[in-house]
């Protein structure tokens, strides 16, 4: 079954993105690798809140994927049938945005987002 390895791969990649967002919230000077590179260096307080919101969204998306694959929260299985398509859309938008970003350093996230898109499609169609 390819659904379970795909869900795990997506979750590991999502955890990496969450760690990156967490680093932005605690003041790491990596703003040029996020949000189109518009805020180089450390994020100001308002953008740190945005990073926290991103973390929460990413956690929910990972839970949807893991639930859809039958790995956690079986009570969410029926809802995850719809939710997984939000994950696919989110990953698709992320792939596009990270590919066309004016920030060259931010483009390092394009392959991550593309793999998330592929793995979410596998989970969604399984």
| Residue extents of the structural domains in the chain | 3-125
Cα(88)–Cα(61) distance, integer angstroms: 10
Token pair 């590991």 is at which residue? 12
Confidence grade of residue 108 (pLDDT, cut at 50, 70, 90): very high
> Given this model, what pLDDT does residue 26 score?
97
* pTM listed for this prediction: 0.91
Question: Using alpha carbons only, how large is the chain's radius of gyration in Å?
Answer: 15
Q: What does the block give as tokens for 63?
A: 């839970």
> Given this model, what pLDDT does residue 75 score?
86
Confidence grade of residue 57 (pLDDT, cut at 50, 70, 90): very high
> Given this model, what pLDDT does residue 23 score?
97
Cα(49)–Cα(35) distance, integer angstroms: 13
- Average pLDDT in the chain: 94
Confidence grade of residue 71 (pLDDT, cut at 50, 70, 90): very high
């Amino acid at each position: 079954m390819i659904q379970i390895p795909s869900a795990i791969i997506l979750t590991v990649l999502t955890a990496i993105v969450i760690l990156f967002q967490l680093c932005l919230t605690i003041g790491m000077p990596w703003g040029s690798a996020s949000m189109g590179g518009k805020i180089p260096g450390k994020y100001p307080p308002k953008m740190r809140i945005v990073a926290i919101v991103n973390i929460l969204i990413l956690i929910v998306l990972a839970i949807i994927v893991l639930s859809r694959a039958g790995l956690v929260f079986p009570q969410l299985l029926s809802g995850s049938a719809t939710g997984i398509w939000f994950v696919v859309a989110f990953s698709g938008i992320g792939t596009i945005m990270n590919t066309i970003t004016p920030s060259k350093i931010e483009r390092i996230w394009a392959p991550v987002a593309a793999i998330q898109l592929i793995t979410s499609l596998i989970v969604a169609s399984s």
